[in-house]
Amino acid sequence: MEQLIEKIKEKNAVIGVIGLGYVGLPLALAFAHKFRVIGFDIKEATIRNLSDGHSHIIDIPDERLNEGIRHNFHPTHNEQDLKTCDFIIICVPTPLTAEKDPDLDYIKKTCSTIAALLNHGKFIILESTTYPGTTDEVVVPILEQSGLVAGSDFGVAYSPERIDPGNRSYTVETIPKIVGGINPLCTKICAALYTEVVTNVITVKDARTAEAVKMVENIFRNVNIALVNELALIFEKMEIDTWEVIAAASTKPYGFMPFLPGPGLGGHCIPLDPFYMSYKAKKFGFIPRFIDTAAEINDFMKMHVINLAEQGLHRCGRPLFGAQVTIIGLSYKKNIDDTRESPSIKIIEEFINLGSRVRVYDPFVRKITTSSGEIASEPTFDSAVWESDCLVFLVDHDQFRALDLSSIVQQMRSPVIVDCKNLFTPSDAYVYLGLGKGSPSFSAK
């Protein structure tokens, strides 16, 4: 495999990227600045759109995609095109089952596809988020069904994806990259490849350690968000504004890192990774109570949003059943169109289950899929709020902060505002319930 380092230095290596979503497409285009890149995805429609120069990722404008296509990026849904690749990077989803156990089917199927194409000298890198041990215990055995031996006949490493959709300050190229191979040579080769496109590559002992790094990063955030969510629930009862408390605590120049409460967690990593780690911990006979409790608290916040809406409607003499509720903000974080694991999905489903009539609006999202079917975003904000009984703001898109609620509530039937992201200030013009803010008379911004 040593010849791969020479290929990297001479820019003769061919890079394959499997899975052209939020992780794979930006990565493929980053490598395309220096290498020939084969981008593979099983979705023919995705490949057709990419080939026509249309990006489905908000962080990748069409201009950047077309520049890549004109040079070194070649999207395909023909797996045989991967035969020419020296490196194949796996960027496929790792969801949960209905029982919240790890679902590694995408990884397994991808590895089986690669095994059928594998030959001496190729190098396989897994980027999909997963529990420690996946590379050694799942990926390698499937690849070795080719009859070749991992670590000598072909290389294997793990390098966790670090993508923050919508973040223009930190990109694939500028976010430090963790690399861990199944042996020192694999670590060396993998690091050499990523060094060509990433400014800072950090090597760790092995693939298992690299997998653990990703778990720690996201469980750290999950647990701390759960902490502030629990505090928000407590402070509501104590008539204390959680947001003001956190802002003040953040002035401490050491020993404190601010996390903010919200209606639940979304995105592919933070809501899912704790369950991956919990599953693996139990395999070692350990019950991860702290991790499981944090996930339970964060999940409860969706129901708390329903409770706040019900309280507000009750003040107006309206029941939740039959009320016109408008959900404002569908993505899992601000200023993006990504609805993966968004808390808005379960919140919408619960309102519908309780008999509410639901409209939705998000300037970035055209529609959202729920257990009740697809729901299209209203074409305008005004059409979304017209004659609504309750507006539920789940996301702090920048443009929402400029809204004038005093004029908006004049279009509503019942002026109930549920503010989950500290967007607004209480007023006598409407019934205001802020997540973590207590009653309006005690709220401050």
Which residues form the catalytic set?
269
**CA gyration radius for the chain?**
24
Bridge-partner residues for 327, per DSSP? 360, 392
Is residue 404 within 8 A of residue 411, CB to CB? The reply is no
Burial class of residue 325 (count of CB atoms within 10 Å of its CB; 0-12, 13-18, 19+): buried
What beta strand segments (E) does 112-209 contain? 123-126, 155-158, 177-181, 201-203
Output the CA–CA distances (angstroms, integers) from residue 192 to 100, 174, 401, in the order listed: 36, 16, 45
Bridge-partner residues for 88, per DSSP? 16, 124
Number of helical (H) and strand (E) elements in the chain, helices listed first = 15, 15
- Residue of 367, 373, 365 whose CA lies nearest to 333: 365
Q: Tell me the Ramachandran region of residue 364: left when phi exceeds 0, alpha when psi lies from -120 to 50, beta otherwise.
A: alpha
- Residue of 308, 304, 330 whose CA lies nearest to 230: 304
Q: Is the dihedral of CA 119, 122, 127, 130 positive or negative?
A: positive
Burial class of residue 363 (count of CB atoms within 10 Å of its CB; 0-12, 13-18, 19+): middle
